Structure 1
Amino acid sequence: MSAPPIRILGVDPGLRNMGWGVIEAQGSRLAFLACGSLRSRSDLSLAERLRTLHEGLARVIAELRPHEAAVEETFVNADPQSALKLGQARGVALLAPALAGLPVAEYAANLIKKTVTGNGHAEKPQIGLMVKFLLPRSDAGTPDAADALAVALTHAQLRASRALAQAAAARAR
Structure 2
Amino acid sequence: MRILGLDPGLAATGWGVVMADGNRLRHGGHGTVKTPAAAPLAERLAALYDGLMGVMAEQALDEAAVEEVFVNANPQSTLKLGQARGVVLLAAGKGGLMVHEYATRAVKKALTGTGAAEKPQVQAMVERLLGGVKVSGADAADALAVAIAHAHLRTSIR
What TM-score, normalized to structure 1? 0.89
How many residue pairs align between the two structures?
A: 158
Compare 133-142 and 107-116 and name the one that shifted more.
133-142
**Amino acid corresponding to residue 77 of structure 1 in structure 2:** N
* TM-score normalised to structure 2 length: 0.98
Q: Which runs of 5+ in 2 are unaligned?
A: none
Does residue 131 of structure 1 match 2:126? yes
Residue 86 of structure 1 aligns with an amino acid whose one-letter code is: L
1:106 aligns with 2:73: no
**Does structure 2 conserve the Cα–Cα contact (< 8 Å) formed by 1:36 and 1:145?**
yes
Question: Once the two structures are superposed, what CA deviation does each residue of 1:104-133 show, in whole Å capped at 9, x if it has no partner?
Answer: 000000000000111101111111100011
* 1:79 alignment counterpart: 74
Q: Kindly state the Cα deviation for residue 137 of structure 1 after the two structures are TM-superposed.
A: 4.5
Which stretches in structure 1 are left out of the alignment for 5+ residues? 1-5, 164-173
**Structure 2 Cα separation of the partners of residues 94 and 135 of structure 1:** 25
Of 60, 63, 67, 2:58 maps to 63
Q: Distance in 1 between matches of 2:133 and 2:52?
A: 19
Q: Which residue of 1 aligns with 2:110?
A: 115
Runs of 4 or more consecutive aligned structure 1 residues displaced over 6 Å after TM superposition: none
Encode CA deviations 1:25-83: one digit per residue, 9 max, x unaligned: 01001000100011111100001001111111111111012100000000111111000
Distance 1:86 1:77 in 2: 9
Is 1:37 the equivalent of 2:24? no
RMSD: 0.8
Q: Equivalent residue for 1:11? A: 6
